[in-house]
């Protein structure tokens, strides 16, 4: 079965809107993670950004202590964050590009242009028993570079797919790109995850993408939770994923 990783960053976004700089506040992303697990989520994803705009260090530490599934830490390849990851030891890290001025992660990592630096970090993580994923666009050059880095996973950036979903022709083009990239990655020995811009309307269109292990979905689930509750929002997404081959 295709796995669901729930990104709880935006639970922390709501908290930080009122309690930024405070040692506690509501809603608690750790509590949210436990609800997601209870509803059947296969893992929890958080992005510890350098500017700490939502998830805080204490959240990552506490999540590592309490969740029972899998902790996926999204992070820039920055020395401070690398050091935190090596101390906390999530199950997997996903290296992503990061810019202070962006609202959320925009585009995939340039693995081909940073092979040496990424390989160094990959070795550190693997040496600590942490799997490594690279968040990349569905591009042959980036997939090849990810294999050269020695990553265990890639996460295909589905942002372009999400943006073009309502144009049938453009959607077909983006799905085809994802299919080709997933096949290439599998051939090179990489496991394949995907995420960004996925929601209850468009996720089923990824059913033709082969070799997918996990989808990481956050904003849409947190948004849906405002209306139906977090547990129900997770269960509804899991029902959609059950239709995948």
Q: What band does 242 get if pLDDT is binned at 50, 70 and 90?
A: very high
Please tell me which residue, 100 or 59, carries the higher pLDDT value.
Answer: 59
What band does 100 get if pLDDT is binned at 50, 70 and 90? low
Quickly tell me which residue has 């599998």 as its tokens: 186
Q: Pick the catalytic residue: 10, 42, 54, 74?
A: 74
| Bridge partners of residue 216, in order along the sequence | 5, 195
Following CA atoms 55, 57, 58, 59 in sequence, which dihedral angle do they give, to the nearest 10 degrees? 30
Cα separation, 34 vs 226, whole angstroms: 17
Quick check: 233 pLDDT over 90? yes
Residue 219 annotated as catalytic: no
Mean confidence (pLDDT) of the chain: 96
SS3 per-residue string spanning 169-219:
HHHHHHHHHHHHHHHHHHHCCCEEEEECCCCCCCHHHHHHCCCEEEEEECH
Q: Is 157 a catalytic residue?
A: no
Domain hosting 68: range is 3-241
Q: Please check whether residue 245 is in contact with residue 211, taking contact to mean a CB–CB distance below 8 angstroms.
A: no
The model's pLDDT over 166-222, given as tens digits with 9 standing for 90+, comes to: 999 999 999 999 999 999 999 999 999 999 999 999 999 999 999 999 999 999 999
Residue 106 has pLDDT above 70, yes or no: no
**Residue 30's pLDDT band (cuts 50, 70, 90):** very high
Q: Region 1-10: what's the mean pLDDT?
A: 96
Q: What confidence tier does 98 reach under pLDDT thresholds 50, 70, 90?
A: confident
Closest to 153 in 3D by CA, of 126, 178, 135: 135
Give 106-140 as a DSSP string.
-S---GGGSHHHHHHHHHHHHHTT-EEEEEE-S-H
Which residue is catalytic, options 98, 157, 196, 214?
Answer: 196
- Predicted pLDDT of residue 6: 98
* Enclosing H/E stretch for 153: strand 153-157
Q: What is the pLDDT of residues 41-78, one digit of tens each?
A: 999 999 999 999 999 999 999 999 999 999 999 999 99
Structure tokens at 57: 């260090």
From the candidates 10, 37, 42, 47, give the one annotated as an active-site residue: 47
Count up the domains in the chain and report the number.
Answer: 1
Tell me what pLDDT residue 49 has. Answer: 95
Beta strand pairing status for 43-47 and 71-75? parallel
- Is residue 150 within 8 A of residue 119, CB to CB? The reply is yes
Question: What's the pTM?
Answer: 0.94
pLDDT band at 120 (very low <50, low <70, confident <90, very high): very high
Quickly state the pLDDT bin for 245 (edges 50, 70, 90): confident
CATH code assigned at 233: 3.20.20.70
47 annotated active-site: yes
The whole-number pLDDT of residue 35 equals 98
- Band (pLDDT 50/70/90 cuts) for residue 159 is very high
Q: With bands split at pLDDT 50, 70 and 90, how would you rate the model's confidence at 105? A: low
> Residues 238, 27: contact at Cβ < 8 Å?
no
pLDDT of 122 > 60? The answer is: yes
Q: Is the pLDDT of residue 103 over 90?
A: no
């Amino acid at each position: 079965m295709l796995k669901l990783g729930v990104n709880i960053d935006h639970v922390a976004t709501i908290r930080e809107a009122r309690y930024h700089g405070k040692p506690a506040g509501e809603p608690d992303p750790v509590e949210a993670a436990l609800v997601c697990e209870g509803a059947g989520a296969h893992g929890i994803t958080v992005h510890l950004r350098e500017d700490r705009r939502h998830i805080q260090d204490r959240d990552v530490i506490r999540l590592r202590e309490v969740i029972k599934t899998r902790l996926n830490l999204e992070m820039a390849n920055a020395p401070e964050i690398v050091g935190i990851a090596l101390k906390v030891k999530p199950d997997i890290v996903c290296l992503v590009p990061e810019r202070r001025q962006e609202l959320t992660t925009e585009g995939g990592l340039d693995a081909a242009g940073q092979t040496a630096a990424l390989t160094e970090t990959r070795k550190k993580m693997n040496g600590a028993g942490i799997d490594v994923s690279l968040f990349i666009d569905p591009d042959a050059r980036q997939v090849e570079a990810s294999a050269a880095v020695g990553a265990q996973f890639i996460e295909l950036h589905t942002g372009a797919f999400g943006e073009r979903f309502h144009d049938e022709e453009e959607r077909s083009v983006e799905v085809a790109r994802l299919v080709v990239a997933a096949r290439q990655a599998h051939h090179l020995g990489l496991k394949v995850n995907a995420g960004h811009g996925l929601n209850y309307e468009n996720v089923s269109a990824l059913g033709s993408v082969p070799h997918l292990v996990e989808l990481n979905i956050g904003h849409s689930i947190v948004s849906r939770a405002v209306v139906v509750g977090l547990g129900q929002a997770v269960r509804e997404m899991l029902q959609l994923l059950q239709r995948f081959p």
